[in-house]
Structure 1
Amino acid sequence: MRPLIHPAIEDITVEGILHALSDPVRAQIYIQLAGAGCTFNCSNFLQVSDKTIPKSTLSQHFRALREAGLIRSERHGVEMQNTSRCGEIEQRFPGLLAAIVKAHQLQYTERNRATKKKAKARAD
C-alpha cells in the first residue's frame, strides 16, 4: 500500500490551496470537514451538494485536498479517516481559508436562489 503524502506546513502554498478548492465538490467537502472539528471517513461524502459522487472520484478529491495540505488522512483498516488542518493553515496564512469558505458559501447560496427562481418561473 502506498504511503500517504502530507506536505509539511512550510511547503503548503496559496496556489496549491486555491487549486484544490477551485473545484466546487472539493470545496464543499473541505467546508464540511473544517466546520466539524472531528474526523470523517470518505464514505461520509458520497452525497455532496445533492450530487452522488462515485467512490473513485471521491478518492481523487481527497487526494487533491491532502496533497494541497488542507487535510490529514489516516488509514484505519479499509477506511480512510480525514481531518482538517485549518489551525495550521490559519497560522501560516491568516484569514485565507475563512475568505475562501465565505466566498464559496455566498456563491452556493446565489446558485440555489437562481435555481429556485428558474424552477418557480417554469411552474408558473
Structure 2
Amino acid sequence: MPDNEGHPDPDEMTLAAILNALNDPHRRRVIRELAQAEDGEERTCASFDLPVSKATLTHHFRVLRESGLIRQVNRGNSRAAQLRRADIDARFPGLLDLLSEE
C-alpha cells in the first residue's frame, strides 16, 4: 500500500506503471537527468524547466511518484524529487541503464 505521500513500496512497483510513466518524453527526461546525477541528489520540480504549465508539471511528477520512480519531499513552498535508484535497480535491474542509452 502506498505511503501517505503516494509512494509505493518496492514490491508494489509494477513494470506496467513504470513503462506508462516513461511513455511521456518529459517524464523520461526527468528520470534521465536524475539518473545522471549523484545518487541521492534532490531537485525541485521547477528546476527541470519543462515547457509545460504548472498543472501539467504537477501531473507529470504525480505519475512518476505513483509509479515508484521518484520520491518527493516537501521543502517549504516547493517539492523536491529524488530518484529511487536502489529500489528501481533491485526491482528492475538494468532499466536505468537502458534509459541512459536513449
- Within 1, Cα distance between the matches of 2:24 and 2:34? 15
Q: In the alignment, which residue of structure 1 is the partner of 2:49?
A: 46
User: SS at the partner of 1:91?
Assistant: helix
Query: How big is the shift at 1:11?
Result: 0.2
**Bigger Cα displacement from structure 2, 86-95 vs 20-29:** 86-95
- Within 2, Cα distance between the matches of 1:98 and 1:8? 22
- Which amino acid letter does the alignment assign opposite residue 74 of structure 1? V
What are the residue-to-residue correspondences of 1:21-100 with 2, within 5 Å?
21-37=22-38, 38-47=41-50, 52-100=51-99
Q: Give the TM-score of the pair, scaled to structure 1.
A: 0.73
Gaps of 5+ in 1: 106-124
Higher relative contact order (CA 8 A, sep 6+): 2
Measured against aligned partners, the alpha-carbon deviations of 1:95-123 in whole angstroms (never above 9, x if no partner) come to: 12322442xx2xxxxxxxxxxxxxxxxxx
Answering whether residue 20 of structure 2 is matched by residue 19 of structure 1, we say yes
Who wins on radius of gyration, i.e. which is larger?
1
Q: Give the TM-score of the pair, scaled to structure 2.
A: 0.87
- Within 2, Cα distance between the matches of 1:44 and 1:55? 12
- Larger helix proportion of the pair: 1
Structure 1 residue ranges (4+ consecutive) displaced by more than 2 angstroms after TM superposition? none
- Within 2, Cα distance between the matches of 1:16 and 1:35? 22
Q: CA RMSD in A?
A: 1.3
In the comparison of the two structures, how many residue pairs are matched?
97
- Within 1, Cα distance between the matches of 2:54 and 2:49? 7
Judge conservation of contact 1:71–1:85 (CA < 8 Å) in 2.
Answer: yes
Query: How big is the shift at 1:13?
Result: 0.7
Identity score, percent: 38
Gaps of 5+ in 2: none
Specify whether residues 53 and 46 from structure 1 end up closer, same or farther in structure 2 by C-alpha distance, changes over 3 A only. farther
